[in-house]
């Protein structure tokens, strides 16, 4: 593929050179003819403007120069400026990928067109969508936060989903979604808040370190600004998610793994008040349950997402009541997402969990700083503090996201974990590849 891309690039570069040279020759010829320094066999009195043949020749050269110049600008625009860039960028100032500005960041970032399983099966216009991804990963140390099989290449996630979005913009509509996954992340993705043997938890789905999981299976109805999901669905809490493509980093934060639910079974309503305010409210059968009610789990799930400024949004999500396997208690996750510039994103998150389940008194503070150089390359860092019953754990992570192709993302990272109380500290080099389809 790289040889093909290089050949295409050389071919395009040659074409640009020919176009530029052709334009220069034509415009020079036209200028010389106008100055009387070049004579055509049928044009002997160009300066006088009385010879109709001369006027015709000069018109032909002028028109050809204009047409080639237009084609040259179009070729450069298609090469350098993707569709989401600001129009009007000159040939020497190509549009920067994804930012809508003029610059020089696009000339090497050519993702190509993404391949879609949905287009092959249902077609682009279908209301039913199917897709997924495969994730392979390697990490040199295990910190039990999903990545618990170090020093080997693992199939982290093989994921497939099918869905129909409930669109209430024209009145009542319905939708659904179902997800299935297989990999070493399967055990952590199952409804482990269930009683054993229920749904996908300890029911024979495990195959050594690899497991199957059914993280979502719900129906949805919508009308206007209101939508309601009923069934088994991912939580609203937190910033990081279980699905690999939804995160910048390969590794996960302590708060995400220890202080937030992954899934719920129940019902959740979303009401969009306006562009700045969205409200959530519903009931679930505890944390991480799949069509099961462990220990009488019954709790409220809800909160709000509010635009603080034009470039920042604050989201508060809480659960309280009987959390099932986590006991009776309260939790919240507060995420403030700030677009500092068009390329720089800062996120600060704080979590709190208080339950009657032994030493389940947890809190944490995470900070993310993410920089998108263009559509192909991004840089990020995450700083963490997490506390459980007064014992503090710290971690810092630095990573890169690189997309050589529209369907492929590579995420190398370096992570350092340390605990002052126990004196434990270690570094982890890791990298994964995510292929979407």
Which whole-number Å values give the CA distances from 337 to 273, 309, 334, 366, 406, in the listed order?
20, 10, 10, 12, 26
- On the 0-12 / 13-18 / 19+ scale of CB atoms within 10 A, 376 is buried
User: In which element (H, E) is residue 29 found?
Assistant: helix 2-35
CA-nearest of 385, 402, 403 to 394 is 385
Look up the pTM and report it: 0.76
Paired strand residues for 405: 408
State how many domains the chain has.
2
Q: Is residue 231 part of a domain?
A: yes
Is the same domain home to 23 and 138?
no
Examine the fold and report which residue of 61, 80, 99 is the final residue of a domain before the chain moves on.
80
The H or E element containing residue 70 is helix 52-80
**Structural domain for 34, as ranges:** 2-80
- The pLDDT value given to residue 357: 79
* 417 plus 335 within the same structural domain: yes
Say yes or no: 265 and 195 in one domain.
Answer: yes
The per-residue b/e assignment along 278-317, b for 16 or more CB within 10 angstroms, e otherwise, is bbbebbbbbbbbbbbbbeebebebbbbbeeeeeeebbbbb
Whole-angstrom CA distances from 242 to 157, 187, 211, 236, 303 are 10, 12, 15, 12, 20
Instruction: Report yes or no on 92 lying in a domain.
Output: no
**pLDDT, block means (10 residues), the chain with 437 residues:** 36 36 36 37 43 50 54 46 46 45 61 94 94 97 90 97 96 98 96 95 91 98 98 98 98 97 98 98 97 94 97 98 95 98 98 87 97 97 96 97 97 97 96 98
The pair of three-digit structure tokens given for residue 2, joined into one six-digit string: 């790289």
Say whether both 69 and 204 belong to one domain: no
Nearest C-alpha neighbor of 395 from the set 240, 251, 246, 258: 251
Q: Is residue 112 part of a domain?
A: no
At 324 the pLDDT is: 95
Residue 107 has what pLDDT?
59
Q: Which helix (H) or strand (E) holds 365?
A: strand 361-372
The residues near 324 (Cβ < 8 Å, ≥ 6 apart) are 193, 285, 286, 287, 288, 289, 293, 294, 295, 296, 297, 299
Is residue 437 a contact partner of residue 135, using CB atoms and an 8 Å limit? Answer: no
pLDDT of 45: 41
Residues 69 and 130 in one domain: no
Shared domain for 47 and 182, answered yes or no, is no
Judge if 151 and 248 occupy the same domain: yes
In a domain, 204, yes or no: yes
Distance CA 409, CA 114 (A): 12
| Residue 98 lies inside a defined structural domain of this protein | no
**136 and 9 in a common domain:** no
Q: Minimal CA–CA distance to 317: which of 336, 302, 335?
A: 302
Residue 424 bridge partners (DSSP): 419
| 379/425 same-domain check | yes
Q: Show which of 35, 58, 80 is a domain's final residue.
A: 80
Directed axis angle between helix 2-35 and helix 52-80, to 10°?
A: 150
269's enclosing H/E stretch is strand 263-274
Q: How far is CA 404 from CA 139, 247, 375, in A?
A: 21, 18, 10
Would residue 102 count as lying in a domain?
Answer: no
Task: List CB contacts of 401: < 8 A, sequence separation 6 or more.
Answer: 248, 377, 378, 379, 380, 409, 410, 411
Q: Which two tokens stand for residue 135?
A: 């994730």
Q: In this predicted structure, what is the pLDDT of residue 66?
A: 59
Residue ending a domain, choose from 80, 107, 128: 80
Pair (75, 122) in one structural domain: no
For residues 70 and 177, membership in a common domain is answered with no
Q: How far is the C-alpha of 215 from the C-alpha of 249, rounded, in Å?
A: 21
In which element (H, E) is residue 400 found? Answer: strand 391-405
Indicate which CATH number applies to the domain containing 320: 2.40.160.10
pLDDT the model gives residue 368: 98
Task: Give the model's pLDDT for residue 55.
Answer: 52
Q: Is residue 93 part of a domain?
A: no
In a domain, 107, yes or no: no
The residue behind tokens 């996630």 is: 157
- Residues 49, 124 within the same domain: no
């Amino acid at each position: 593929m790289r040889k093909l891309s290089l050949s295409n690039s050389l071919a395009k570069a040659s074409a640009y050179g020919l176009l530029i040279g052709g334009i220069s020759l034509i415009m020079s010829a036209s200028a010389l003819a106008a100055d009387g320094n070049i004579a055509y066999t049928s044009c002997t009195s160009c300066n006088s403007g009385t010879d109709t043949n001369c006027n015709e020749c000069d018109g032909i050269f002028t028109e050809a120069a204009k047409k080639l110049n237009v084609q040259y600008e179009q070729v450069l625009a298609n090469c350098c400026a993707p569709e989401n860039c600001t129009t009007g960028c000159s040939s020497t100032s190509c549009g920067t990928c994804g930012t809508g500005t003029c610059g020089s960041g696009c000339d090497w970032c050519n993702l190509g067109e993404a391949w879609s399983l949905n287009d092959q099966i249902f077609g682009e216009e279908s209301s039913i969508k199917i897709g997924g991804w495969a994730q392979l990963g390697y990490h040199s140390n295990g910190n039990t936060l999903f990545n618990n099989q170090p020093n080997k290449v693992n199939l982290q996630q093989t994921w497939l989903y099918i869905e129909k979005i409930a669109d209430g913009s024209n009145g009542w509509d319905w939708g659904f979604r179902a997800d299935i996954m297989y990999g070493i992340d399967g055990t952590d993705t199952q409804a482990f808040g269930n009683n054993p043997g229920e749904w996908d938890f300890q029911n024979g789905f495990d195959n050594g370190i690899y497991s199957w999981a059914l993280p979502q299976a719900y129906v949805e109805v919508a009308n206007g600004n209101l939508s309601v999901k009923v069934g088994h669905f991912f939580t609203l809490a937190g910033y990081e998610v279980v699905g690999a493509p939804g995160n910048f980093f390969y590794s996960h934060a302590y708060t995400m793994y220890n202080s937030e639910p992954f899934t719920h079974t129940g019902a959740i309503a979303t009401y969009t008040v306006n562009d700045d305010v969205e409200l959530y409210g519903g009931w679930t059968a505890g944390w991480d349950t799949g069509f099961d009610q462990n220990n009488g789990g019954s709790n409220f799930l809800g909160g709000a997402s509010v635009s603080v400024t034009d470039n920042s949004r604050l989201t508060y999500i809480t659960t309280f009541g009987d959390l099932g396997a986590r006991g009776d208690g309260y939790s919240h996750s507060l995420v403030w997402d700030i677009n500092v510039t068009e390329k720089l994103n800062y996120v600060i998150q704080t979590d709190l969990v208080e339950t009657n389940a032994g030493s389940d008194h947890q809190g944490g503070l995470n900070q993310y700083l993410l920089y998108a150089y263009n559509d192909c390359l991004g840089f990020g860092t995450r700083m963490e503090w997490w506390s459980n019953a007064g014992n503090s754990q710290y971690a810092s992570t630095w990573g890169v996201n690189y997309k050589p192709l529209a369907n492929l993302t590579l995420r190398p990272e370096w992570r350092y974990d340390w605990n002052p109380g126990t004196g434990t500290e270690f570094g982890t080099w890791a990298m994964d590849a995510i292929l979407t389809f």
